[in-house]
Chains A and B, each alone.
Chain A
Amino acid sequence: MTARAGATGATAKTARARTAKAGTATPKADGVAAKAVAADTATAVSGKLVTYREAMREALREALIRDERVFIMGEDVGRYGGCYAVTLGLLEEFGPERIRDTPLSESAFVGAGIGAALAGMRPIVEIMTVNFSLLALDQILNNAATLLHMSGGQLNVPLVIRMTTGAGRQVAAQHSHSLEGWYAHIPGLRILTPATLADARGMLWTALEDPDPVLIFEHGALYNMSGMLDPAATPVDIGTAAIRRPGRDLTIVAYGGTLAKALTAADQLSADGVAAEVIDLRTLRPLDDATIMESVRRTHRVVIADEGWRSGSLSAEVAARITEQAFYDLDAPIERVCTAEVPIPYAWHLEEAALPQPATIVAAARRAVG
């Protein structure tokens, strides 16, 4: 743990979001940030220009204002302002009791969040990056996910854990992995992957109202994504997938960091006359099987874009469910576009080659449609 990310303002070199439709999103002044995906802007064209980071921060502010049981705890969330600047300014507004800087003790402060939740508080624990969450895996799996069942229903854990996930920022193999699929393996947890501004703004409050532990995975390449968001945006449901782009020829299943890439791929396919439908899973556990199957039954062809490694991945789970529930509706083998099975390398060209990209999604789609 020698390299704590000081990645505030990191740009999305290899993960640029799809260019939004004209008039629905505005590039940031520095011109390097990704833009909001069109699906968000459909409901927010008349709103205010915000980044994903700001949308998340506003959600945190709202939670702190609405519920005095809410507090935030994690490494450098206070005086530093958050390693990705999500919590910037909250210490000044809410004070050190509710915006608590912790030592570099992931297991202790995640477990403390569980204990405080057991006692009726509503802690939001921030872990800098998914790789560091492994230092707290004992607490997340053996306690947060387990206590309710193991105690015969006595101990529920209303805890929210936020962490950064994903690659694309040249921060190499200990700050870049996509392990949300691992966490989605665990009964007792809810796993959220907000990929849009509306979800960044709206998922947190719903997660806090949940009586059980919820993990929110924020893809690091999304923080600078900007677009229009209604200032009066409301909490959103966390149980369903969303169709971000309708299409009749092919279903592309994506989430988190792969959503923007899938939408870019769909644009390119459209130019060739292939109408791809893009599903944003939004919640990895529980999976919204109904939305996936309904789409597959219309398009008969599937590509799954998952930034996790292929073996034993979330994409494998989605593919298995499709074969279990919609096998006879398929007209072609399911295609998967995943991260190459290597620790994420530093070199930009290797990292780019390791990750799902619009081009590889397009290629998979072409194989699927024949």
Chain B
Amino acid sequence: MTGQPRQPAATPQPASGDAAHRRELLREMVRIRRFEERCVELYSAAKIRGFLHLYIGEEAVAVGVCQALAPADSIVSTYREHGHALARGVEMDSLMAEMYAKVTGCSRGRGGSMHLFDTSHRFYGGNAIVGGGLPLAVGLALADRMRGAGRVTACFFGDGAVAEGEFHECMNLAALWELPVLFCCENNLYAMGTALNRAQAETDLAARAGSYGMVAWAVDGMDVIAVEHAARRGAEAVRGGGGPHFLELRTYRFRAHSMYDPDRYRDKSEIERWKARDPIDALAAQMKQHGEITDDDVEALEQGIAAEISRAIEAAEVAAIEPVEDLTRFVYSPRPA
């Protein structure tokens, strides 16, 4: 089977359409944006170290997809996962503390920016091996399917993962066993510095997934309403026993790959073209046009978020670090003496 992605048969339904919901979508996206911007400042101040990959520009993807997930669903993510964690509801305090390498961090300071985990939100982390999270998602979904749990596992990965063998192994296995996975491919056009068309013989990624016999389609990843709509359709089909579904979410990161990246491989005009499609600006403009939000509302929203981030930073600043005596804790589980 080759060629065209199979389109879902269902008639498009409007995403949850009231203004209050759209305000919440806007707030969630702004919250991620401002969190990431503060992370840049904190990185420059050497409060955050290591690798730091920012989600700026891609907020509509995480926020839109997470609307479609229930608390019992699972998420597997990548090293660019601050946005996924925030959109999922992982507490900002624990995320910021993790950036600070504090014991109050969601991974007790052992993971850092790339390895955020929170089982209380079924957030199975931050995997920094490109493609390495897909098998975990397949396994979580296999367990759910064997138990008839009716859950969905949302698996985020980038266009770079499509070049990995693990991607193809997992597409096949998930489709073969009809597992309840919603594959969310964040196609931001670059695998670190290598453009999609320099790495992929076939750049239509939905078509690649469709070749495995699963429903797959491309979505405008800069439009949070479109993402939510697609994710709801996909998640409902997966939950209803329709096997894995695949969303190619076409998006763009406005910042460099990581804080180390001089960003030499992209044309500045390309970045500006995509910034003109900023998902936050787009939704805000649309809402203002329809009288659903005022400048004062936006200001209030910004102030609330700024206060939340400041509280998270203050808490992280004063939090304790893990005692060095506990260095080797969690290599093995505690067991009876």
Q: Is the interface of B mostly helix, strand, loop or mixed?
A: mixed
Which of A111, A121, A152, A211 contacts B117, CB < 8 Å?
Answer: A152
Q: Are B330 and A153 in contact (CB under 8 A)?
A: yes
Q: Chain A 119-137 against B: per-residue CB contact (8 Å), 1 yes, 0 no?
A: 1110100000000000000
**Residues in B neighbouring A110, C-beta threshold 8 A:** 135
Chain A, 173-224, CB within 8 A of any chain B CB: 187-188, 210-212
| Residue A71 is within 8 A (CB to CB) of chain B in the complex | yes
Q: Chain B 111-149 against A: per-residue CB contact (8 Å), 1 yes, 0 no?
A: 100010111000011010100101111111111101000
**Residues in B neighbouring A156, C-beta threshold 8 A:** 333
**Residues in B neighbouring A152, C-beta threshold 8 A:** 105-111, 117, 330
Shortest distance from the beta carbon of A250 to any chain B beta carbon, whole Å: 34
| Given A108-B170, A212-B332: A150 touches B117 (CB 8 Å cut-off) | yes
| Residue A240 is within 8 A (CB to CB) of chain B in the complex | no
Q: Are B333 and A138 in contact (CB under 8 A)?
A: no
Which of B140, B143, B332 contacts A188, CB < 8 Å?
Answer: B332
| Given A118-B140, A138-B166, A150-B110: A112 touches B173 (CB 8 Å cut-off) | yes
CA distance A187 to B144 in the complex (A): 29
How many of chain B's residues touch chain A, expressed as a range?
35 or more
Shortest distance from the beta carbon of B83 to any chain A beta carbon, whole Å: 19
**Residues in B neighbouring A149, C-beta threshold 8 A:** 110, 330-331
Which of B124, B135, B328, B331 contacts A155, CB < 8 Å?
Answer: B124
How many of chain A's residues touch chain B, expressed as a range?
35 or more
CA distance A114 to B143 in the complex (A): 10
| Residue in A closest to B153 when the chains form the complex, CB atoms | A115
**Residues in A neighbouring B137, C-beta threshold 8 A:** 115
Q: Chain B 144-169 against A: per-residue CB contact (8 Å), 1 yes, 0 no?
A: 10100000000000000000011001
| Residue B268 is within 8 A (CB to CB) of chain A in the complex | no
CA distance A112 to B181 in the complex (A): 12
**Residues in B neighbouring A113, C-beta threshold 8 A:** 139
CA distance A187 to B333 in the complex (A): 12
**Residues in A neighbouring B142, C-beta threshold 8 A:** 112, 115-116, 121
Given contacts A116-B140, A149-B330, 17 further A-B contacts (CB under 8 A): A103-B172, A103-B176, A107-B166, A111-B136, A112-B135, A114-B135, A115-B136, A116-B143, A117-B139, A120-B143, A138-B129, A138-B132, A147-B117, A151-B111, A153-B108, A154-B107, A155-B117
Question: B: which residues have CB within 8 A of A?
Answer: 74, 76, 105-111, 115, 117-119, 124-125, 127, 129, 132, 134-144, 146, 165-166, 169-170, 172-173, 176, 328-333, 335
User: Which 9 A-B residue pairs are closest in the complex by CB-CB distance?
Assistant: A115-B139, A111-B135, A152-B108, A119-B143, A108-B169, A105-B169, A112-B139, A151-B117, A211-B333
Q: Can you offer 7 A-B residue contacts whose CB atoms are under 8 A?
A: A103-B172, A105-B170, A115-B76, A118-B140, A118-B143, A153-B329, A155-B117
